[in-house]
Every structure is written in C-alpha cells, then in structure tokens.
A = this chain, B = another copy of it.
C-alpha cells in the first residue's frame, strides 16, 4: 500500500530503515504533537460549542464570538429554542458546501417560527478585533488576503489598512447563508465547507465558526442534484435530530475536546513543520504554507 502521507507509527519504522538519507533534525508535525504539553492545549468553551446530532453521528462546531458576536449570540438563542430540531440538511453541493435549514422556509404557513432569536441581523463580514483577541500572523503570502493568520484556533484574514479581520472559508468553516441583501442572514440557515476553500466567499458571508469534529458526517452525505446541490425531493433531506449547545447537554453526554493553542511556540514550530516537511516521504519542500492547509489540531482530552 503506497501512502502519500504518514502517521507517527509508520514514520518511525520507515525512518529507521531509510538509512540512505541522513535523519532530519527538523521538526515533524506528528512528533511535535506527541511531545506537546497540557498547556499547549485549551478545552473547547462549552458555551460556544454546538452539537449537531444526525442519524449517522455528531458534528461538533466551535463558534467564534470574537469574529461574529451578534450571529453567535443569535445561533445560541436558536439552539436554545430548539429551532433546528427536526429540520434538515437540504443541500449538499459536491466540492463546495453542505447547508441546513427549514425545508419549508418558503411556505409561510408551514415554516418554523423563530421565537426568541432574531430573523435577520446586520452582516458581520469583517470587524476590528478587540485588543484582547490575539492574531498570530502567518509570514506566508496569500492569494486573497493582505494578511492571514490564526486567532484562538481560527484561520483568519486581516487588512492592515482598515485593521479589520475576518474568518477564512477553509475546509470545515461554518457560515450563515443569506439572500442578496447583506443583512438578510442571521444564522438560522448555516453551511459548512466540504471542498476546496471557496475563498471568494470571504467577507461575503458571516463566518460563525468551524467544525472541530465529525465533519465527515456532513461531507460524506449523498450529493444533491438540484440547482446549487439542493436535494430535489423532500425524502432526500437529512434530518437533524437536534442542535444543542454543549453547555446545555448533561455532562456525561458531552465530548471532552481540546484544541491546540495557536499563540504558543509549539504552534509556530508546527507551522514551520508544515512549510518544510521533514518526513522522509517528502522529496520536495514547499517552503510555504497556506492558512487553510494548517488545520488546527483537535484531540480528545487525555
């Protein structure tokens, strides 16, 4: 079996036998993570974590109140009023996005009423981050943004002229759908990226967070064949059992996850290990890395 990319166990065996090449002393991602300290990780904030339960598994989404405070507050209100429970994934466009919504949103008499949350909100496409919010700048250039970097585990862009920052559309990013008007979204219809990062969407929608576990339960769903990947028949819709805030779930039903901190020396080394891959398998060093190719690691709390 040829491997394309390797995990720690295989790496060790292969490095031992690869006597023809001097062993690299440069850091390797898997070794860096294996040697990480407890202080390199932070627990997910249960107040900003969604559990989206489908028949095939649980999708866990970390919300980003630093970037979209109003949308995140509204999404939390929607979860608490059980807005999505019994609604569905209605769109799976290959290489692009999975979207969930009220299948009856166009039918005034059948659509689910929003009770405590707001129907729509002003756009939060970008914003000046509060001074307490870190932004770890990547030295690599980017095709779309003047600057990219990481903020509390999220890949972000920043414009040094306006000082505004925004979350990037990377694989697994979650955003709020909207109609043509910028303020026509509000978080009741959300989407997750399941293909190559559609960076042209940056600053065109409000990105509210990212999937930190279980994105496969969205990305492996059958594709929709209507326009834009919408399912054509109601029976194709994939039911959402519930979307709940982790803090509202009994402790024993919670998943204890930790996210690698992005403001540490370890994270700097990890980025360097992705720019120049010291694994024996790599013969050519890219020398660069794109923010969306630095997936911030998530693990079960040891």
Count of chain A residues with a beta carbon within 8 Å of a chain B beta carbon: 78
**Residues in chain B near residue A219, CB distance under 8 A:** 94-95, 195, 219-220
The answer to whether B228 and A125 touch across the interface, beta carbons within 8 angstroms, is no
Rounded to whole angstroms, the CA-CA distance of A13 and B140 in the bound complex is 42
The answer to whether B189 and A284 touch across the interface, beta carbons within 8 angstroms, is no
**Which residues of A line the B interface, CB within 8 A?**
1-7, 9-10, 14, 18, 90-92, 94-97, 99, 101, 105-106, 123, 125, 140-144, 170-172, 175-180, 182, 184-185, 189, 191, 195-205, 215-216, 219-223, 227-228, 230, 274, 277, 280-284, 286, 288-290, 292-293, 295
In the assembled complex, 29 residue pairs joining A and B whose CB atoms fall closer than 8 Å, in A order, are A1-B230, A2-B177, A2-B179, A2-B185, A4-B99, A5-B201, A7-B227, A14-B180, A94-B215, A95-B219, A143-B143, A143-B288, A144-B290, A170-B196, A180-B280, A195-B196, A196-B197, A197-B197, A199-B293, A200-B274, A200-B277, A202-B284, A202-B286, A203-B283, A204-B282, A204-B284, A219-B219, A219-B220, A220-B221
Among all A-B residue pairs, the 10 with the closest Cβ atoms: A2-B177, A203-B284, A171-B196, A216-B223, A94-B216, A143-B290, A7-B227, A2-B189, A200-B286, A95-B171
